[in-house]
Amino acid sequence: MHAVGLITEYNPLHNGHRYHLQTAKQVSGADCTVVVMSGNWLQRGEPALLDKWTRTELALAAGADLVVELPVYFATQPAHLFARGGVAILSALGCDSLVFGAEHPDLDFAKLTTAMATMANGDFQHYNATFATQFNAALQATTGVTLTSANDMLSFCYYAANQRLARPLKLYPIQRRVAGHAETTITPGETFASGTAIRQAALQADWPAVEPVVPPATLAALKTNRLQSWADFWPYLQYQLLTVDVAHSGQYDQMAEGLEYRMRAMVQTSHDFQDFLGQVKSKRYTYTRLQRVATAALLQLTKAEVQAAQAHPYIRLLGFNSTGQAYLHQVKKQLPLPLYTKINQQLREHALQLDYRAGRVYELINHQSQDLYRRPLRITGG
């Protein structure tokens, strides 16, 4: 059996994602679709609307054969580390190819990755410019191209991560069938919408708007599950920032020098999470960067422990169908990474401690066990 990989978040799974799943096998000729999916905390530094188990079930219903978790120490990182983690796990699982959506799939991403050395070696520490601005300046100087669309940037990072592999995957960028990430409304009569627009409509329970742009199973899940957002976790973040000594909060992952003092000061005068972001925002930091730092603070993820965990990745199985089970049986004896199907006391205290911690915080709102006593979902067929 040959497998194609997808790196996803499914927040929530919508019609664009279903198209991606359906197209992956067609363009790659694979027998099995392997999905690496972020857990309960996402790349933009926010909690997932639906928990990872619900999203796994939706992925399997939409055409995925095997779903594994992208650990929190990769899932909540900038694009180049997010991509590196996902690509490494797909490679470890023996996938032959990776299919991903891009705004401009005709770009020669392979040539653009020659600028990766510039990104890796540059310090990008100019105070009044964001990382993305500085990165694109370096890319423009090297290649004459800038990447202003989120998925084009991520596509570049997939190619760069793939070049690090001893056995690179075959990469297939495809045209995204969805509205732009910046779109905040669902256009009447359309069957595709951005995740941002769908999340906003779902949080407002605007089901007539949501129904045309998501599969029926997603609509049912959104209607019947507790939906999480930063507003739910804001009191816990306030508590963390107000009570933890700034000498310790300065060690949180992705925290820039001095930002911990600014966050400590602004949290005392902020009315809610969005107000807090607005007060902390400066030219140097994007809202996404600040959300990722806030996630690290909430979960108490330090830079040292995140970097240590990234050096020892693993494969956490979330769900599969009969095709996925057969493929896993084919490759499991040759896996170069540990494969975990459940969390016991030793794992939660050591190898999986960061994901276990992230799950426990998510449970404060979700009220459903995310790791203990949870076994991979198994569905018939596939």
How confident is the model at residue 374, as a pLDDT? 93
Does 350 appear as a known binding residue?
A: no
CB–CB of 169/155 below 8 Å? Answer: no
373 in a labelled binding site:
no
Query: What is the reported pLDDT for 288?
Result: 94
Is 7 annotated to bind a ligand? Reply is yes
Cα separations (Å) of 344 from 51, 69, 264, 368, 373? 20, 17, 36, 17, 8
CB 306 within 8 A of CB 14: no
Q: Do residues 11 and 49 make contact, with C-beta atoms less than 8 angstroms apart?
A: yes
Residues 194, 339: one domain?
A: yes
Residue 297 domain boundaries: 231-307
Helices 273-280 and 230-243 sit at what angle, rounded to 10 degrees?
Answer: 60
Please check if 363 is assigned to a binding site: no
Residues 130 and 213 in one domain: yes
3-state SS string for the chain: CCEEEEEECCCCCCHHHHHHHHHHHHHHCCCEEEEEEECCECCCCCECCCCHHHHHHHHHHHCCCEEEEECHHHHCCCHHHHHHHHHHHHHHCCCCEEEEEECCCCCCHHHHHHHHHHHHHCCCCCCCCCHHHHHHHHHHHHHCCCCCCHHHHHHHHHHHHHHCCCCCCEEEEEECCCCCCCCCCCCCCCCCCCHHHHHHHHHCCCHHHHHHHCCHHHHHHHHHCCCCCHHHHHHHHHHHHHHCCHHHHCCECCCCCCHHHHHHHHHCCCCCHHHHHHHHCECCECHHHHHHHHHHHHHCCEHHHHHHHHCCCCEEEEEECHHHHHHHHHHHHHCCCCEECCECHHHHHCCCHHHHHHHHHHHHHHCCCCCECCCCEECCCC
Task: Give the largest Cα separation in the chain, rounded.
Answer: 57
Beta bridge partners of 319: 67, 377
Last residue within a domain, chosen from 260, 292, 307: 307
Is 15 annotated among the ligand-binding residues?
yes
Residues 236 and 350 placed together within one structural domain of the fold: no
End-to-end C-alpha distance for the chain, whole angstroms: 14
Q: Do 290 and 334 sit in the same domain of this protein?
A: no
pTM for the full predicted model: 0.93
Question: Does the annotation place 18 within a ligand binding site?
Answer: yes
Q: What is the pLDDT of residue 115?
A: 55
Looking at the structure, do residues 81 and 124 belong to the same domain, yes or no?
A: yes
Q: Verify that 25 and 84 share a domain, yes or no.
A: yes
Domain end residue (candidates: 307, 325, 360)? 307
CATH number, residue 146: 3.40.50.620
The DSSP bridge pattern shows strands 377-378 and 339-340 to be unpaired
How far apart (Å, rounded) are the C-alpha atoms in residues 196 and 11? 9
pLDDT at 109: 81
- One digit per residue, the tens of pLDDT, for the chain of length 382 reads 999 999 999 999 999 999 999 999 999 999 999 999 999 999 999 999 999 999 999 999 999 999 999 999 999 999 999 999 999 999 999 999 999 988 887 877 877 776 555 554 444 454 445 556 766 776 777 667 677 777 888 988 999 999 999 999 999 999 876 655 567 889 999 999 999 999 999 999 999 999 999 999 999 999 999 999 999 999 999 999 999 999 999 999 999 889 999 999 999 999 999 999 999 999 888 999 999 999 999 999 999 999 999 999 999 999 999 999 999 999 999 999 999 998 888 999 999 999 999 999 999 999 999 998 899 999 987 7
Number of separate domains in the chain: 2
Q: Binding residue per annotation — 264? A: no
Q: Write b or e for each residue in 135-158: b if 16 or more Cβ atoms lie within 10 A of its Cβ, otherwise e.
A: bbbbbeeebebebebbbbbbbbbb
Is 249 found in the same domain as 222? no
Judgement on whether residues 86 and 218 belong to the same structural domain of the protein: yes
Phi, psi of 172 (to 5 degrees): -130, 95
Q: 2: annotated binding-site residue?
A: no
Q: Any known ligand binding at 40?
A: no
Instruction: Indicate if 168 and 191 belong to the same structural domain.
Output: yes
Instruction: Tell me: do 175 and 271 sit in the same domain.
Output: no
What pLDDT, on a 0 to 100 scale, did the predictor assign at position 132? 66
Has 9 been labeled as part of a binding site?
yes
| Same domain, yes or no: 112 and 19 | yes
- Do 127 and 55 fall within a single domain? yes
CA 346/CA 332 separation, integer angstroms: 22
**pLDDT for 123:** 47
Among 251, 286, 307, give the residue marking a domain's end: 307
Residue 237 · residue 298 · CB < 8 Å? yes
Residue 151 annotated as part of some ligand binding site: yes
